[in-house]
Amino acid sequence: MDVLSDVLLAVRLTGAIFFDVEARSPFAAETPAVEAIARRVMVGAGHVISFHIVTEGACWAEAIGLPDRPVHLRAGEIVVYPMGDPNVLASAPGMRGTPDETLYYHPTDRLLPFPLKVNDNAGADTCRFVCGFLGCDSRPFNPLLSALPRIVHAPVSSLSRGWLASIVDAAVKESAHGSAGREAMLAKLAELMFVEVMRSHIDSLPGDARGWFAGLRDPQIGAALRLIHGQPSEPWTLDSLAREIGLSRSAFAERFTTYVQMPPMQYLGRWRLQIAARLLEAPSVSIAQAAAEVGYQSEAAFNRAFKRYAGLAPGAWRRERVAPGVPASGTP
C-alpha cells in the first residue's frame, strides 16, 4: 500500500494552472490570501493551496506576514503554500506588488492559463513562471494539511528532472496555442507537481524529524500506516496493530502518537470517515452501507462521528455533493 497515493486520491486532489507569467526585472507579482479567492478559483474545494513553478530564469519567493526567509527559486523549482498564505514572487527579496483580484476566476469564455507580462523593460533579466491552485478536502480528515509547513520549497529531484522538465515545457508551449484538452493537461500537471513536492519534502526531512511525513519513512510507523490504509475496515485494535509491527502496546501507542500527532485508533477512526465521505458521493450507496463499508456496526455511531469531524450529518454532506436531480439512497 502506497500511503501517500492513497491519501492524495481520497482527499480529491484537483489542480488548475491559472497564470503563465513572463516577468522582467525589476518585478513583484503578488498572490492574495487564498481565503479571498478560493470560491472563484476552485469551486467546491474544501481547501485551496497555491503554488508557483519557475520555468525560466530565477526569482525570490516570500510568504507575506510569515517569519520565513525569502526563498531563491531557479528554473525547475517549485514553491507551495499549503495554507494559502498571501505571497510574492519578485526579482529581489522584500519587494511587494498589488494583486489584481479580478483575474482570479475560472473563465467560461476563454481558456486557462491567463498569459501575463510584468514589466516590459527590454534587455532586463527575464523570469518565467506558472502559477496555480490545488483543491482538496479538509474534512472529515486530511492528514497532509496539518503535517506540512506553511511554505514548501522543492527542487525537482534528479530522478524526475528530465521527464518533468519535458512536461513543463510542453505545458508552457500549450499555453501559447488554443489546443484542445489544454486545461485538462495543465490541471494534471499541477497535480503531478504536487506529488513531486511531497516526495521531495519527505526526502529532505532530517533524520530526527517527526510528523506524518516522517512517519511514512519510519519502518514501524510506516508499516502501521500501510496496514491502516490498506485494510481500513479491518477490526483493528491497539493490540493487534502493535502485534503486527512487532512492538508492545504501550511502545507502539507512544511512537505512533509522537510521529503522527494523534493516537493510532483516533487516526484509524478519522481515516475511515474520510473514506466514507467519498462513498457518500455515490448516489447508489446508502448511509448504512457507507458506515458498514468502513467498519461501523452502528449507523447511529457513524452519524455521530461523521458530524463531529465533517461538521455535517452524512445526509446533509451527501446533499451538498450529489448532483441536483439525482436521487440519493439513504438520504433522510
- What pLDDT sits at residue 179? 65
Give the end of a domain, one of 182, 204, 226: 204
pLDDT band, residue 10 (cuts 50/70/90): very high
| In a domain? residue 161 | yes
Q: Tell whether 42 is covered by a domain.
A: yes
Instruction: Determine the pLDDT at residue 174.
Output: 59
Does residue 47 share a domain with residue 175?
yes
Residues 246 and 156 in one domain: no
Q: Say if residue 194 is in the same domain as residue 234.
A: no
Q: What is the CATH number of the domain that holds 181?
A: 2.60.120
Question: Cα separation of 225 and 212, whole Å?
Answer: 10
Query: What does R_g of the chain's alpha carbons equal in angstroms?
Result: 22
Last-in-domain residue among 158, 186, 204: 204
| Domain assignment present for 58 | yes
Same structural domain for residues 194 and 240?
no
| 181 and 218 fall within a common domain | no
Domain assignment present for 328: no
CATH number for the domain that contains residue 244: 1.10.10.60
pLDDT for 224 equals 98
Position 332 in a domain: no
Same domain? 200 vs 254: no
Over residues 155-198, the pLDDT tens digits come to 766 665 566 556 656 655 655 565 667 778 778 888 988 998 99
Distance CA 34, CA 38 (A): 5
Mean pLDDT, range 250-265, rounded to an integer: 97
Percent of the chain exceeding pLDDT 70 equals 89
C-alpha grid cell for residue 15? 489542480
| Residue 330 within any structural domain of the chain | no
Q: Which domain holds residue 255?
A: 213-321
pLDDT of residue 40: 93
CA-CA distances (angstroms) from residue 39 to 59, 80, 98, 104, 162? 29, 19, 20, 10, 35
8 A C-beta contact, residue 43 and residue 13: no
- pTM for this structure? 0.89
Asked if residue 327 is part of any domain, the answer here is no
Least confident of 47-51, 144-148, 318-322: 318-322
Same-domain check for residues 225 and 124: no
Please say whether the beta carbons of 124 and 23 come within 8 A.
Answer: no
Query: Are residue 159 and residue 228 in the same domain, yes or no?
Result: no
Q: How far apart are CA 141 and CA 310, in angstroms?
A: 8
Single residue among 204, 230, 245 that ends a domain in this structure: 204
pLDDT digits (tens, 9 = 90+) for 289-310: 999 999 999 999 999 999 999 9
Quick check: 62 and 151 in contact, CB under 8 A? no
3-class DSSP state of 253: helix
Q: Judge if 182 and 225 occupy the same domain.
A: no
Task: Count structural domains, the chain.
Answer: 2
Q: For residues 62 and 197, state if they share a domain.
A: yes
219 shares a domain with 191: no
Is the predicted pLDDT of residue 322 greater than 70, yes or no?
no
Any domain includes 9: yes
Q: Are residues 128 and 266 in the same domain?
A: no
